[in-house]
Structure 1
Amino acid sequence: MRICWSNWALVVVVVVLGSVSLLASCGQKGDLYLPEEPPAETQNENDRP
């Protein structure tokens, strides 16, 4: 079974684009998780009218 050159070209393009996308995400900064929501604000006795 022979593989057409266009099939090889498709495989190469997919591998190159996949590698580039993995390398592009390595430099991201910041939290790698979803931060927890801050606690709900409660009224202090001094804030009441």
Structure 2
Amino acid sequence: MTKRFLLLALLITLLSACGNKGPLVLPDKTPPAPASQPSTDG
């Protein structure tokens, strides 16, 4: 009986996932490019 309860609890947890509905999309905003640093080749 305990195994059945744990299996049911695990199944419910996996099905609930993170709670977001709809397709997973990446944000449109791109991160700013890092400031260029002067090279020290000399």
Q: With structure 1 as the length reference, what TM-score do the two structures score?
A: 0.42
Q: Which of the two has higher C-alpha Rg? A: 1
Superposition TM-score, scaled by structure 2 size:
0.47
